[in-house]
Chains A and B, each alone.
Chain A
């Protein structure tokens, strides 16, 4: 019996031994930075070596792919986890993270270290740092500017026989589209065509269901046909703005684009699937966030002169593009807040931001992007600037996840699954969002 007791004591000891092992594993690294797993994150690893050398802190990274990113990181914040010291969190999370004090407020730190939000692109400050919006309360430093735009096959567009055929058919040149309708014409033109012995398709667009994909895609069309999140004069008044005639037309346009011009099976596509389709030569154009452009430009098959870039074309109701991108925040639960703030201080410096851009990170620092040499420094730089000038973002409310989930369901049900009409989808969305805001006590 004694022996048995001893055994179980040993067993319990082992259990805690293992947990202690886990704890020391985390301590060995000074700072953990959490972000999405994508090209810019790998560039940040490279960039951060300078910080490691200068500060003596070791950097550890936790990168989560986009479809799981919000899931995992919001879970981390809500579970009171200590994994991340620094979090480059998505723009829409800022409301919840600020109201629940999951991020450290940075105003005092900015003042003390002479970091001014006036030095950053205004749209990124509003989008990535402020809560409540348009008030000087900062919870993040704009880290990575991003926006939905288009990549196209310049080499295909330049083929004389296609040029001629397109001109005959549409009575204009086969060139970068200036409106959404022109975009659809081009996509229709390429759909099912044989190019270099391969069947190709018009466009790869966002249709992902699980996280935020289809919303990030369809919203571009909605904005440009006249959708508004609420009454500009009366916040949270949705009726007539979310389901306005323009909004319905916008969603119908997105569905028509999905039906006419996407590759077969493009029903659950987001950033990575679009890249795959484009790089393997399946599509003439792809909708995607700007972050992919450095990768496309360097690609062995479609890079260099073979690809071109253009901002989201305008529609009858306006000219906007869906904002992406993130700010970098200090997690309130972190045990290393001082070091984390030191990282942000280092990151905000001009020369670090310049290097960030050369490595493929879209700096949000005005002095970097306004530099005369910037626009010509890369083939996509001008398109990036043009796109950043027309951005619009999804709700950044604390209840963002519920609002997003409802949108995903309504849009996917209509666009991909073909359930009901666009009007029903948008009316349903008004009902869903109203319910969320009522639960929140905002209405």
Chain B
């Protein structure tokens, strides 16, 4: 096989020069490879972010193209932070966040623990359990309104059958006391498999030799669980909580289709509230400030959490 012209060129160039060309081309390639990404990020992430921040100091409204845009300073921020309705949506979001995470961690971890017993066919059943989380949340939310219908819905019927109550005696979406749980149930149904998968990875990462050593030390199963299993799965669990936390903080599609924020404003999460301000009332400046506040909140909480996560990992 005759050498390619690259190879001939390589042979012909003195070593020093060859190194130089390669070095240069490395850098050039690095730039060419990264530049489109950076360009896209500038265009779709950074530029809009700067624009949002700028708008957040104005009273601009998209549906009033003829009105004069005024600079209002920190007015929007002041209005948002002193608005009791917005604090209420934050509370609603917190309730949703805490309960979904709690339930998903409990159920997800238990499932992973059981699956890790490696019974026959566990792979197949794991795949089946995972289905709900691969679906489109909007479609899921929409369909659950059907399952939750008091007379004709499957959910009410099954619960009624199991508890010997009239299925139409309660309404998951319509009742003020039940609606916050209705959204928690659907989110848990959909996302428990996610936590389960991560926990499963954690459990499988524990070398069997540790248990064998513990067994030799005659540590009880209970003790083994608390001193080996849980601490070693903890970083994985915390990761799952981080991902679920971020996802549910921005939750919109599932809940907006399921309850639309109702009844009243009982399930109005922050995202739904923001959507109403930005795309129904068209208070663009105001909702830009709102978006900035949310952005800072997510980033702040996530960074603190990641620091904690890293500490746990180091232990």
Residue ranges of A at the interface with B (Cβ–Cβ < 8 Å): 1, 4, 8, 67, 70-71, 74-75, 78-79, 96, 99-100, 199, 208-210, 263-268, 280, 282, 398, 401-402, 405, 409, 412-414, 416-419
Contact = CB atoms under 8 A, between A and B. Distances in A.
Interface in B40-71: 62-66
Given A4-B32, A78-B62, A209-B260, A267 B175 contact: yes
Nearest to A214: B262
Interface in B148-165: 148-152
A264 B170 contact: yes
Contact of A209 (B148, B169, B175, B264): B264
A8 B32 CA distance: 10
Contact of B171 (A4, A208, A267, A418): A267
**Chain B interface category by residue count:** 35 or more
A409 B263 CA distance: 9
Contacts of B263: 209, 267-268, 412, 416-417
Nearest to A79: B62
A75 B260 contact: no
A417 B280 contact: no
A266 B259 CA distance: 12
B126 interface: no
6 contacts: A8-B36, A209-B259, A263-B168, A265-B148, A267-B263, A416-B262
Nearest to B170: A264
A405 to B, nearest CB: 6
Interface string B267-284: 000000000100111110
A416 B264 contact: yes
Given A264-B171, A267-B175, A417 B264 contact: yes
B193 interface: no
B266 interface: yes
Contact of B150 (A67, A263, A401, A413): A263
A100 B66 contact: yes
B254 to A, nearest CB: 15
Given A100-B64, A264-B150, A265-B150, A412 B262 contact: yes
B174 interface: yes
A75 B276 CA distance: 12
Contacts of A409: 264-265
B312 interface: no
A412 B259 contact: no
B173 interface: yes
B28 interface: yes
A265 B171 contact: yes
B176 interface: yes
Contact of A210 (B29, B62, B260): B260
A265 B168 CA distance: 8
Interface in B13-40: 25, 28-29, 32, 36
Given A282-B151, A401-B281, A265 B173 contact: yes
What 10 pairs across the A-B complex have the smallest Cβ distances?
A: A267-B174, A417-B264, A265-B171, A209-B262, A265-B150, A210-B260, A413-B264, A264-B150, A416-B263, A402-B281
Contacts of B141: none
Interface in B203-244: none
Given A268-B262, A401-B280, 4 more contacts: A100-B66, A398-B64, A401-B63, A413-B264
Contacts, number: 103
Contacts of B261: 209-210
A267 B175 CA distance: 8
Nearest to B62: A78
A416 B279 contact: no
Contacts of A263: 150-151, 168
Contacts of A264: 150-151, 168-171, 174
A328 B226 CA distance: 70
Given A209-B264, A268-B174, A405-B280, A74 B63 contact: yes
Nearest to B171: A265
Contact of B63 (A78, A413, A417): A78
A209 B264 CA distance: 7
Nearest to A97: B63
A201 B259 CA distance: 23
Contact of B174 (A8, A96, A100, A416): A416
Given A1-B29, A210-B261, A268-B262, A71 B175 contact: no
Interface in B265-315: 265-266, 276, 279-283
Contacts of A419: 264
A89 to B, nearest CB: 14
B269 to A, nearest CB: 14
Interface string B168-186: 1111111110000000000
A207 to B, nearest CB: 8
A268 B259 contact: yes
Nearest to B148: A265
A263 B156 CA distance: 14
Contacts of B25: 1
A438 to B, nearest CB: 12
A401 B61 CA distance: 13
Nearest to A406: B281
A409 B172 CA distance: 20
A2 to B, nearest CB: 11
B63 A96 contact: yes
A414 to B, nearest CB: 8
Contacts of B66: 99-100
A267 B262 contact: yes
Contacts of B283: 402
Nearest to B168: A264
A1 B32 contact: yes
Contacts of A70: 280
Contacts of A401: 63, 280-282
B171 A71 contact: no
Contacts of B148: 265
Given A401-B280, A401-B282, A266 B65 contact: no
Nearest to B281: A402
Interface string B244-258: 000000000000100
A149 B149 CA distance: 25
Nearest to B85: A409
Contacts of B65: 100
Contacts of B32: 1, 4
B276 A265 contact: no
**Most chain B beta-carbon contacts within 10 A, residue among A267, A401, A416:** A267
